[in-house]
Amino acid sequence: MNFRKREKSIVDLLFILTLFAVFMLCSMFIVLFGAKIYKKVVSDSEINYSARTTQAYITEKIRQHDSTGGVDVIYEGEKPVLRLYENYDGAIYYTYLYEDDGYLKEITSPERYEPSYPNGQRILPINSFNADKISSSLIKFNITDCYDKKYEFYSTIYSGTH
């Protein structure tokens, strides 16, 4: 067999450079689309976290204070406040959950003191909080989170309902 050494031409070089450029463009588009998808997933995850955490926090607080007369909805002006009763070594304390200044806040105070609502502990950022006591064993919550997503959930009070 006679193998001759072939001379390289400019066409060979252009073909290789074009192939490399197509590969680089495809890689760039894959990275850009992947980044866009990742950003969307992270955003959806943050919204989902906000909604679930707020609901779980409120529900757990209600479960902790689920006793006869332990959970009530009161109003401070026109704002609804979830009031949770606790008897600790003979002293009565109330824990209040409410929205103030763009946050779900919590404050605990002895029965004899009026709570200072602006001084409550910030829990989670939310835009609005509404609680309605539907019956002695059911509370309806309407919350708008910091992403302006509105959601509604119900919480059952089990004490005294059996």
Q: Looking at the 3D structure of the chain, how many domains does it have?
A: 1
Q: Which residue has the higher pLDDT, 69 or 113?
A: 113
Asked whether residue 116 is domain-assigned, the answer is: yes
Asked whether residue 8 is domain-assigned, the answer is: no
In the predicted model, is pLDDT for residue 161 greater than 60?
Answer: no
Domain of 133, in residue numbers: 43-156
Secondary structure of the chain in HEC code, one letter for each residue: CCCCCCCCCHHHHHHHHHHHHHHHHHHHHHHHHHHHHHHHHHHHHHHHHHHHHHHHHHHHHHHHCCCCCCEEEEEECCEEEEEEEEEECCEEEEEEEEEECCEEEEEEEECCCCCCHHHCEEEEEEEEEEEEEEECCEEEEEEEECCCCEEEEEEECCCCCC
Q: How confident is the model at residue 97 (pLDDT cuts 50, 70, 90)?
A: very high
Q: How confident is the model at residue 108 (pLDDT cuts 50, 70, 90)?
A: very high
- 41-55, 66-80, 87-101: segment of lowest average pLDDT: 41-55
Asked whether residue 20 is domain-assigned, the answer is: no
Asked whether residue 21 is domain-assigned, the answer is: no
Asked whether residue 74 is domain-assigned, the answer is: yes
